[in-house]
Amino acid sequence: MKLFCIHGNFQTGRVWQSLGDRIEADVSELEMVTEDLYAKQFQGFDDWTKDFCDRVEHSTNGKKSILLGYSLGGRLALHACIHRPDLWQGVVVVGADPGFVSEEEKKFQLDRDRNWAERLKREPLEKLTDEWDAQPVFGELKNQAPRNLGEMDASKLSQQFEVFSKGRQRDLVPDLAKLENPPVLFLSGEKDQKYQQIGEELAKSSAVVKAKVVAGSGHRVPWESPESFARVLIDFALG
């Protein structure tokens, strides 16, 4: 069974390599495939979702797979889950927001993301990644996720902030509430109160969503609690 992994902002597909090594050492049933959001430029969520799901269907011959997404990647995973629920054996979402309801919140977020997009066109990546890591959502925890600035394309990253802003994303809660399959596991760290609450609320509104808190980690669960995360993922995928 294939495991498709989608990275977050200021990351590349290589960020999942350590997870792939753990899975390869523990189980033979899962084959990791990383989605690289730098590979192509997309016009928006619908454009990416259709393209991604078409590629998955082609590569698996329609056999069901596991989908994993972190942060931005988690939001994209939710879109793919809703668009083609038949493709997935299960979906794991880590620290991802299903979207805003109010137009005021959307506008505020879009303005913030556009600011990041503009700064990426003119300011050093090292400076911006330091500022990104200092955001309150990370709880002053050092970034444990692998990051190689040389692999990043600032212009494409700028486009990601513009195109995949939460300010452009519809509220996915009503769509998730209608789903009967696949099961969705929403993970958050015990030090990440914001996304714990989002997970709990999502689980209450959708029969397919189960929320779980991973001990010892903040927002970046896969890299702050790698052993616990890998075990949860494998148990969910093969259970």
Q: In the prediction, which pLDDT does 20 show?
A: 87
Quick check: is 54 in a domain?
A: yes
Quick check: is 146 in a domain?
A: no
CATH classification of the domain holding 15: 3.40.50.1820
Residues 109 and 212 sit within 8 Å (Cβ to Cβ)? no
Domain count, the chain: 1
Q: In the prediction, which pLDDT does 22 show?
A: 85
| First CA to last CA distance, the chain | 13
Quick check: is 46 in a domain?
A: yes
Quick check: is 59 in a domain?
A: yes
Strand pairing report for 209-214 and 2-6: unpaired
Quick check: is 112 in a domain?
A: no
Quick check: is 163 in a domain?
A: no
Q: What is the largest CA-CA distance in the chain?
A: 48
Q: Which domain holds residue 218?
A: 2-98+170-238
For the chain (239 residues), the mean pLDDT of every run of 10, in chain order, is 96 93 83 90 94 96 94 98 98 97 96 97 96 94 91 92 96 97 97 96 97 96 96 92
Half-sphere exposure of 233 (CA within 13 A, CB side): 32
Quick check: is 27 in a domain?
A: yes
